[in-house]
């Protein structure tokens, strides 16, 4: 049913700036609408402002200027529904671990929502299964591999029933199997119709899943559109590499 709620952006970011003491501008006059159901890739080199923008969207950082609306409501009035709907997969998977076992860790979110014991147990079972962690149920999260820790963080978000998931550098510190596992999760989240916001500079790993590519450089959004169109406009100073360059011979396998 097409009513005004379905066309209203999930997030509307208006003239958002973040300035740190000493006049370091981390974000400058960001304007961005994020629509429900899209898979948006926010790309930019280290220090370009991706994490600061994520922290603003998640209401973890107050902007110096500008506003963010979530489903049409100013973010500071949307706290409760935002916490329920928005799941964040932080770059540092270790920092996100809360439980002594995998099961306990996943339970934390649904328990905080005040769900019944039976409902919590059902959600734990489903998400363990969905993320291939059933055998690790009793394991201490810190002993998991990098890829498994990221899967655990996603399990926590799924168990909460979040419709929107932000992933900050989801491929950081992962070996190839870990990257593949993470990509399978991203594909699965997409198939479930989740809104996905992925922050990365590693376009070559994930661009195939993106509906939209936004380039940020020095806290300013430089380009926003369909991935192929944005790649055609890349400027070298933005520090993002066009992944369509492929290697066909060993002697080509260098980024130099």
Ligand X SMILES: Nc1ncnc2c1ncn2[C@@H]1O[C@H](COP(=O)(O)OP(=O)(O)O)[C@@H](O)[C@H]1O
- Residues near ligand X (CB under 6 A) are 20, 24, 26, 44, 46-52
Q: What is the closest distance, in whole angstroms, from the C-beta atom of residue 100 to ligand X in the complex?
A: 30
**Residue number with CB closer to ligand X (49 or 110):** 49
Stretch that binds Mg ion, among 50-58, 75-83, 228-236, 241-249 (CB under 5 A): 50-58
Q: What is the closest distance, in whole angstroms, from the C-beta atom of residue 63 to ligand X in the complex?
A: 13
Q: What is the closest distance, in whole angstroms, from the C-beta atom of residue 49 to Mg ion in the complex?
A: 8
Q: What is the closest distance, in whole angstroms, from the C-beta atom of residue 86 to ligand X in the complex?
A: 18
Q: Determine if 51 is a binding residue for Mg ion (CB under 5 A).
A: yes
Stretch that binds Mg ion, among 21-29, 33-41, 43-51, 236-244 (CB under 5 A): 43-51
Q: What is the chain's Cα-based Rg?
A: 19
Q: Total number of residues binding Mg ion (CB under 5 A)?
A: 2
How far is Cα 94 from Cα 142, in angstroms, rounded to an integer? 7
**Residue number with CB closer to Mg ion (105 or 169):** 169
Q: What is the closest distance, in whole angstroms, from the C-beta atom of residue 107 to ligand X in the complex?
A: 30
Stretch that binds Mg ion, among 48-56, 61-69, 202-210, 248-256 (CB under 5 A): 48-56
Q: What is the closest distance, in whole angstroms, from the C-beta atom of residue 199 to ligand X in the complex?
A: 7
**Residue number with CB closer to Mg ion (55 or 123):** 55
HEC-encoded secondary structure of the chain? CCCHHHHCCCEEEEEEEEEECCCEEEEEEEEEEECCCCEEEEECCCCCCHHHHHHHHCCCCCCCEEEEEECCEEHHHCHHHHHHHEEEECCCHHHHCCCCCHHHHHHHHHHHCCCCHHHHHHHHHHHHHHCCCHHHCCCCHHHCCHHHHHHHHHHHHHHHCCCEEEEECCCCCCCHHHHHHHHHHHHHHHHCCCEEEEEECCHHHHHHHCCEEEEEECCEEEEEECHHHHHHCCCHHHCCCCCCCCCCCHHHCCCC
How far is Cα 120 from Cα 99, in angstroms, rounded to an integer? 15
**Residue number with CB closer to ligand X (23 or 116):** 23
Stretch that binds Mg ion, among 42-50, 68-76, 95-103, 177-185 (CB under 5 A): 42-50
How far is Cα 243 from Cα 245, in angstroms, rounded to an integer? 5
Structure tokens at 154: 């996603």
Stretch that binds Mg ion, among 2-10, 28-36, 47-55, 147-155 (CB under 5 A): 47-55
**Residue number with CB closer to ligand X (49 or 141):** 49
Question: Residue 48 binds which one of Mg ion, ligand X, none, with CB within 5 to 8 A depending on kind?
Answer: ligand X
Contacts to Mg ion by CB under 5 A: 50-51
């Amino acid at each position: 049913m097409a009513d005004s709620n379905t066309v209203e952006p999930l997030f509307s970011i208006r003239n958002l700036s973040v300035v740190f003491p000493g006049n370091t501008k981390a974000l400058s006059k960001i304007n961005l609408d994020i629509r429900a159901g899209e898979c948006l890739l926010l790309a930019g080199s280290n220090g370009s402002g991706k994490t600061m923008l994520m922290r603003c969207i998640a209401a973890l950082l107050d902007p110096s200027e500008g506003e963010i609306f979530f489903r049409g409501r100013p973010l500071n009035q949307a706290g409760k529904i935002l916490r329920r709907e928005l799941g964040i997969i932080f770059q540092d998977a270790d920092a996100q671990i809360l439980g002594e076992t995998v099961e306990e860790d996943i339970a934390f979110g649904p328990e905080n929502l005040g769900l019944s014991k039976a409902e919590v147990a059902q959600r734990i079972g489903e998400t363990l299964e969905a993320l291939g962690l059933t055998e690790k149920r009793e394991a201490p999260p810190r002993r998991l591999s990098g890829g498994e820790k990221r899967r655990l963080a996603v399990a926590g978000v799924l168990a909460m029933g979040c419709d929107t998931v932000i992933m900050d550098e989801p491929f950081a510190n992962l070996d190839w199997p870990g990257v593949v596992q993470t990509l399978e999760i991203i594909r699965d989240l997409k198939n479930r119709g989740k809104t996905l916001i992925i922050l990365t500079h590693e376009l070559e790993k994930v661009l195939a899943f993106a509906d939209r590519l936004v380039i940020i450089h020095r806290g300013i959004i430089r380009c926003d559109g369909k991935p192929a169109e944005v790649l055609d406009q890349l400027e070298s100073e933005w520090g993002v590499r066009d992944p369509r360059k492929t290697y066909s011979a060993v002697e080509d396998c260098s980024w130099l």
